[in-house]
Amino acid sequence: MPRLMSLLLCDRVIVDLNNKTPSIIGVFQRMNVVIQAGVPLPENAISPIRWSIFSLWQHDDADSGKEFVHHTEIVGPDGSIFATTVSPYTLSEPNDLQGKVFVEVIGLPIYREGIAKVRVWLEGYEQAKGEYPFFIIHDRKAADESAQSQQQTAN
């Protein structure tokens, strides 16, 4: 049965074309969102940030050659589903029983502070579901300091 070995949120996943080895760049556990002082966020605000989700699945010998369907779900701090993806893959490399799936995402729900989550699972193996919680933090202090600094520079 497949087992989730790693689930990471990061800035980027780079895959070497020769040996297909993934490199994980900038693993994170929170997103600090600078918000302009005194300006409320629009309802359902989304930051255009680019980021990636990487999961590594360990398989048994019997899984070699099988096709798997990987599901990814991004859940906002309010519990709403922000995005979902479905990514099929086949274990076709000789002597490699690890399924490596990465999803590039553009956008992050920032309309509410709190804990957001990424969930992953393989279709038919939902008991092996994984979840990665991360914080979305509204950084008003940094925005206030930036505004004060700009005001002082103008004077």
Residue 17 identity (one-letter amino acid) = L
First to last CA, the chain: 66
Dihedral angle over CA of 34, 39, 43, 47, nearest 10:
-30
The class of domain 3-35+42-154 in CATH terms is mainly beta
Q: What is the pLDDT of residues 101-120, one digit of tens each?
A: 999 999 999 999 999 999 99
| pTM score, whole prediction | 0.85
Q: What is the pLDDT of residues 38-90, one digit of tens each?
A: 788 888 899 999 999 999 999 999 998 899 999 999 999 999 999 999 999 99
Domain range list for the chain: 3-35+42-154
Q: Which of 69, 54, 58, 41 is nearest to 105 (CA)?
A: 54
Give Cα separations from 83 to 38, 108, 119, 120, 149 (angstroms).
29, 9, 11, 12, 37
